[in-house]
Structure 1
Amino acid sequence: MRRELCEALVARAARPELVFLTGDLGFGALEPLREALGERFLNAGIAEQNMIGVAAALASEGLEPWTYTIAPFCYARAFEQIRNDVCLHRLPVRMLGNGGGYGYGVMGPTHHALEDYGVLSTLPSLRILVPAFDSDVADVVAAAGASPGPVYVRLGRGELPAGCRAPAYAPWRRLRAGRGPVVVAVGPMAGVAWGAFAQDGDAGPEVWAVSELPLALSPPPQAFSDALAGRTLCVVEEHVAQGGLGQALAAWCLTNAAALTGFRTVTAAGYPSGTYGSQGFHRRESGLDAEALRGLLA
């Protein structure tokens, strides 16, 4: 999604208050943005804590700062600064984390973001955006730019199934109707789930995409609530179970007395084999692939 991100920010670059800070990343992808912004494009170096602190200061002066690094270097290295400098002051810093989930593959667990939105959803006033498809990015950038408070954007790789057309962006979207189990997937995993059942008939699963968290800020729509009666709910996310959407939806279902017949989650399992590989390899080990999803809900 880096190309789409660059295009969306270039289109926004005419705003004189916009400042972009990168943690020494984006080479080979963000050069058009650097050209558009000139001295407002800052390389903060491999110093993510300082980058977030500087962004908070810029926001406090009325500017529009965006920070960019890979996802774990954002939420894990700079958590204290996100908490103290940004969120406790409700400052509109837009934090872009590239390579959500297992996105950085063979680079191993230091470069994987498996706890990011669970960790960040504990912070006050923080809005989390997780685009599912490449076509979502422009709308996500617009939403983040219009937000009055802090925003974390988890970028990944668009997973649009062949022959399918992504619906217009929304926090919650029904991708396919069906009378079977209701499948809810976060961000790019929605495309995987959609592809797994795209050829099924009306008796197949109903698939929903979620692109905004936490639920307190983006609660499920009434159409989703209505769809749950008498069905199994399955939550799919490239994130550990603790703090994920599955736990949040389980609590929501209890609070709202959802008449489910079953509840399942499919989450990032870490590293069952103790080895590292591509994003696809880690997804398969976790059951986060189309074949495993079909088997689970057969």
Structure 2
Amino acid sequence: MRKQFCDALLARAQSPEMVFLTGDLGFMALEPLQERLAERFINAGVAEQNMVTVAAGMARLGLDVWAYSIAPFCYARPFEQIRNDVAFHKLPVKLVGNGGGYGYGVMGPTHHAIEDYGILLTLPAMKVFVPVFDEDVPAVIDLAGDYTAGPAYLRLGRGEPPAGWSVPDYSTWRLLVEGDGPPVVAVGPLAGTYIAAIQNLPQGSRPALWALAELPVVSDALPAALLASIKRTGRIVVAEEHVQQGGVGSQLAMCLLGQGVAARLTHLFAKAHHYERYGSQSWLREQSGLDAKTLLALLEN
């Protein structure tokens, strides 16, 4: 999604208030943005704590501030600065983490971001965006840029729809595949990995596949069609490339309980930061049981 991210920010860069900070990353991808912004494109170096504090100061002056790094270096290393300098003052800094979830694969657990939004959503007024497809990025940039009630975190990954599949317009909640079976809610790009396996199943047993792209989960904003499907089948499956604690599974469960909706909730989540061997993002998903084969087998029970 880096190219789409760069293209979307190029249009926003026309505003003299926009400032972009990077933790010495984005090479071979963000050069057009660097050229457009000139002195407003700042390489903060491998000093993410300082970068976030500088971003907070710039936001306090009324600038439109975007701070970018590999996901764990964007939220984990400078967490104290995000908490104290940004969130406590409800400053609209946009934190952009590239390679969310297991996105950096073989680079190992130091580069895996599987607890990111759970941690950040504990902070005041934090908003999280997890675009599902590459095509979502322009809309997400607009929404994040317009969010001024506090900070926002963008978890960028890689859009993974099947070849030739038509990506629907962006929305917080999207029904990607219709079906009469139990609904499946998948967060971010993970949703795209299930489409091919699900769409050819018989209508009666085919799960309704929903993609979620914004957090926290808001009870009043749950789609009526999703609620109807949960009530009819008495079941829901949540899949996310995030640890169980603080994830969408618990958020959605709380929303359903608050509305008095009783259902069997099955949660697929990232089970470990590392395994006995290193591997690609898809391999790590398989180890955690986040792959389409595991999902289909689970739905049969």
The structure 2 residue matched to 1:284, chosen from 275, 286, 296, is 286
User: In the alignment, is the contact (CA less than 8 A) between 1:196 and 1:293 conserved in 2?
Assistant: no
Q: Distance in 2 between matches of 1:201 and 1:30?
A: 44
**Residue equivalent to 2:70:** 70
**Residue equivalent to 1:237:** 240
Measured after TM superposition, the shift of residue 74 of structure 1 is 1.1
1:190 equivalent in alignment to 2:204: no
1:199 equivalent in alignment to 2:208: no
Aligned AA for 1:245?
V
Q: Which runs of 5 or more residues in structure 1 are unaligned?
A: none
**Residue equivalent to 1:248:** 251
TM (normalized to structure 1)? Answer: 0.97
Q: Distance in 2 between matches of 1:218 and 1:142?
A: 23
Measured after TM superposition, the shift of residue 201 of structure 1 is 3.0
User: In the alignment, is the contact (CA less than 8 A) between 2:109 and 2:274 conserved in 1?
Assistant: no
Measured after TM superposition, the shift of residue 222 of structure 1 is 2.2
Q: Distance in 1 between matches of 2:87 and 2:275?
A: 37
Deviation string 1:204-252 (CA, Å, 9 cap, x unpaired) is: 0000000000124983222222221132200000000011000111111
Q: Distance in 2 between matches of 1:76 and 1:273?
A: 21
**Residue equivalent to 1:153:** 154
CA RMSD of aligned residues (A): 1.3
User: In the alignment, is the contact (CA less than 8 A) between 2:71 and 2:113 conserved in 1?
Assistant: yes
* Helix, strand or coil at the partner of 2:231: coil
Q: Distance in 1 between matches of 2:286 and 2:127?
A: 30
Deviation string 1:127-185 (CA, Å, 9 cap, x unpaired) is: 00000000000000010111112100000010112232111111111111111010000
Q: For the structure 1 residues 93 and 120, does the alpha-carbon distance in structure 2 shift closer, same or farther, using more than 3 Å as the test?
A: same
How many percent identity over aligned positions? 55
Q: Distance in 1 between matches of 2:219 and 2:76?
A: 23
Aligned AA for 1:173?
R
Q: Distance in 1 between matches of 2:276 and 2:43?
A: 35
Q: For the structure 1 residues 218 and 7, does the alpha-carbon distance in structure 2 shift closer, same or farther, using more than 3 Å as the test?
A: farther
The structure 1 residue matched to 2:229, chosen from 203, 227, 230, is 227
* Helix, strand or coil at the partner of 2:67: strand
Aligned AA for 1:154?
R
**Residue equivalent to 2:141:** 141
Q: Distance in 1 between matches of 2:279 and 2:255?
A: 35
Q: Distance in 1 between matches of 2:273 and 2:129?
A: 26
Q: Which runs of 5 or more residues in structure 2 are unaligned?
A: none
Q: Distance in 1 between matches of 2:84 and 2:220?
A: 24
Q: Distance in 2 between matches of 1:285 and 1:39?
A: 45
The structure 2 residue matched to 1:266, chosen from 248, 265, 268, is 268
* Helix, strand or coil at the partner of 2:241: coil
Q: For the structure 1 residues 216 and 18, does the alpha-carbon distance in structure 2 shift closer, same or farther, using more than 3 Å as the test?
A: same
Q: Distance in 2 between matches of 1:128 and 1:120?
A: 8
Q: Distance in 2 between matches of 1:42 and 1:34?
A: 8
* Helix, strand or coil at the partner of 1:34: helix
* Helix, strand or coil at the partner of 1:175: strand
Aligned pairs (5 A) from 1:15-164: 15-148=15-148, 149-164=150-165
Q: Which stretch of the first structure deviates more once superposed, 273-282 or 3-12?
A: 273-282
